[in-house]
Chains A and B, each alone.
Chain A
Amino acid sequence: MDRDRVPVSQALLSATGTDAPPWQEQVGPNRRKRRAVSSDRSRPDLHERLTVVEPRRGFRRLDLRELWAYRELLFMFASRDARVRYKQTVLGVAWAVLRPLLGMAIFTVVFGRLAKLPSEGAPYAVFVFAGLLPWTFFSTVLTAGAESLVGSQGLISKIYFPRLLVPLSQLGVPLLDLGIGIVLMFALALAHGVALTSGLLLLPALVLLLTLSTLGPLVLLSALTVSFRDFRHVTPFLLQLWMYATPVVFPASMVPDRLRPLIYLNPAAGPVEAFRAAVLDRPVDWGGVALSFGVALIALIGATIYFARVEDRFADIV
């Protein structure tokens, strides 16, 4: 065996066609790309790819190319969840409409009628619905995302794929729900005599902003739940607190000017406020939104670093 070892690995390495040890440059452990047509023997270059599996230490960059190569699996996970979602429920897809409406009704009674929170002149029902939509997206993604890796342990211990796909695929179903919710919101606004204005043209961009702002907390919570099972209990509680720290049932303008930047240190605050401003045709507090997005980006960078650090151990510890 020892006799064979050296020449063989040299043969393997030289097969990549470069003189320098090639794995240091182009074929790190995560650099392996998947082939589009795997039986195509006319493409010898594809057969010369070399995968090196070896211990990994220290800092690692997020491998976006690999994530892209696995995009079909990401959509497959998301579509699986979407198909399974309402199976075996009596009301089926109607739940996607009922849930936000019920939430809106409860909040309108408690915070609009009883607590008489201000709503910047708009009907409270429309005001709170426009805030609840982005918030529900945020909290649903985080709730499902926190559990996602632990819930996929069967898969994780049996097959390789970028583990990041698991939390990321949790965005799919809530995005569908958000789309349904937006249509519902138009109906609600019209019913309350709120005019639909050009501000609504911002919505697609705001959905993107909301999605990007959710990524950091999503990735972080999913990895933390693998390391510390405590987060299964912490996450629901955290999200409850988080909602009251986010201008969902109250307008950000209720907070004194001096303290307003504090509100926007929350990655969810910017998208929620901007979303509502667009619906109610109010000026968007772009400074606050930018601050909020900045925090979200920092959270995302931190989260991917932490994720990459623990990713290699997932199969051993979930």
Chain B
Amino acid sequence: MSRPAALAVEKLGKEYRLGAGGHGARAGKSLYETLGGWLGRREKAPASTLIWALRDVDFTVREGEVVGVVGRNGAGKSTLLKILSRITLPTEGRALVRGNLSSLLEVGTGFHPELTGRENIFLNGTILGMRRREIERKFDEIVAFSEVERFLETPVKRYSSGMYVRLAFAVAAHLDADVLLIDEVLAVGDLAFQRKCLGKMESVATSGRTVLFVSHNLGAVRSLCGRVLLFEGGRLDFDGPTEEALERYEAGAATAGETLPRARFVGPLAGEVRFETFELHQTGRTVGVVDPGVPVEIEVVGESAEEYRAIDIAIGIFRDGHRLFSCHDGPTGRPLAAGRFRSRFRLESGTLRPGRYTIGFGATRPGTGEWTWSPEAGAIEVLERWVDGLDARDTGPISVPYRGERLPPGGSGA
């Protein structure tokens, strides 16, 4: 703790106005509406359209520290990075940054599809804050890292998506800054390149630079960060050692049979359509842990305060913060009576692969824009059992039903 601070955040807060009204959100409004507003004809914006994306956040990062920033979607992580990188200003409080700060909120920022790889290295590098001479000096290194030497004079629109992100990451990875803000950039390229990125991140992390690392990839956070800031609903919920923070984060989700956390549901219908719990059924029995070898039925139980002419109930399956797929309970637009409701979703055997998933629940009224949703309310554990038909190789986060066949040679294919 004797090292000096590189970054200090004090009582930081950011308020957004959503929807109509308020001069903070005049975008997309027509001149007529604003003139109407000046003439006193504008409707008052209801207070509920003011949302604190971030509030009362205090923390200090010392020089050379690598700190993970973890939290659900909408917890305030991205807002924090946007304020620190000066893309947007805070509503209250302040942030102090010592030295040179660079942010990587997305790889390939400013890439132009018509320009060649070479031209884009210079364009992107300059946008990220490098000097021309600096880019020239690092040019060969960047090209070597990106593995696209042969395509330097090709417009990047002809690149495969893999080549594109490799080049983009390569430029970003060669930024020199005292403080680096990184958001989700590790999730690029194929597995081999991801490992390479992770290696590069590790060398950055150990090179004495200060890094703030936002990720849903808890594995990467675990291996890179010594300390984690856990955000929840715009507030800093926990600030401490990585293991403790990640345990807290994962423990927040309910497992089968438990009551779903109320506070995680958002949207205009959040109070009207409530999700209470979910159950897992396999071969006619209620289970707590999923066996990947047999089909599983996910049954969600909730209560509706009102009767609706049309409402859809849906679930979403997530892994490491990414939505893998969603399911609806049958044809869209069917009525929902007031009182308790149950919806069931059947997944074929092997769809969920061994490991841990999070499950989100939601309800939407088609055509009205009214909804409620919680992306990560529950957790599902799938047994490590490699049954027939389940490929034990790392083939992706889920398996889908498909049929592969090899066609006889010489056929026309018609």
Contacts and interface: CB of A to CB of B under 8 A. Distances in A.
A223 B239 CA distance: 40
A5 B12 CA distance: 12
B239 A1 contact: yes
A258 interface: no
Given A1-B60, A36-B131, A317-B25, A53 B94 contact: yes
A113 interface: no
B129 interface: yes
B134 to A, nearest CB: 7
B16 to A, nearest CB: 7
Contacts of A183: none
A160 B85 contact: yes
Interface in A216-254: 226-230
Given A159-B110, A230-B31, A54 B98 contact: no
B126 interface: yes
B132 interface: yes
A156 B30 CA distance: 22
Interface string B152-175: 000000000000000000000000
B115 A53 contact: no
A2 interface: yes
A291 to B, nearest CB: 30
Contacts of A88: 114
A84 B114 contact: yes
Contact of A226 (B8, B16, B27, B132): B27
Contacts of A38: 100, 130, 134, 176-177
B375 interface: no
B24 interface: yes
B10 A160 contact: no
Contact of B115 (A47, A72, A83, A313): A83
Given A159-B85, A160-B85, A317-B27, A5 B8 contact: yes
Nearest to B88: A315
Interface string A18-49: 00000000000100001111110000001111
Interface in A104-163: 154-161
Interface residues on A, range: 35 or more
B5 interface: yes
Interface in A145-190: 154-161
A8 B8 contact: yes
A277 to B, nearest CB: 38
Interface stretch (B39-47, B101-109, B350-358): B101-109
A160 B134 CA distance: 19
Contacts of B331: none
A50 interface: yes
A155 B127 contact: yes
A226 B100 CA distance: 30
Contact of B30 (A83, A228, A312): A228
A154 B113 CA distance: 14
A73 B130 CA distance: 9
A50 B96 CA distance: 7
Given A51-B101, A53-B86, A315-B87, 4 more contacts: A8-B8, A9-B96, A12-B4, A230-B30
Closest 5 CB pairs of A and B: A317-B27, A54-B94, A160-B86, A38-B176, A230-B31
29 contacts: A1-B59, A5-B58, A12-B5, A12-B8, A47-B178, A52-B94, A52-B95, A53-B86, A53-B90, A54-B94, A55-B89, A80-B112, A83-B115, A83-B119, A84-B115, A158-B105, A158-B106, A159-B85, A159-B87, A159-B109, A159-B110, A159-B128, A160-B86, A227-B27, A230-B31, A230-B32, A315-B82, A317-B24, A317-B28
Interface of B: 4-5, 8, 10, 16, 24-32, 34, 58-60, 82-101, 103, 105-106, 109-110, 112, 114-115, 119, 122-123, 126-132, 134, 176-178, 239
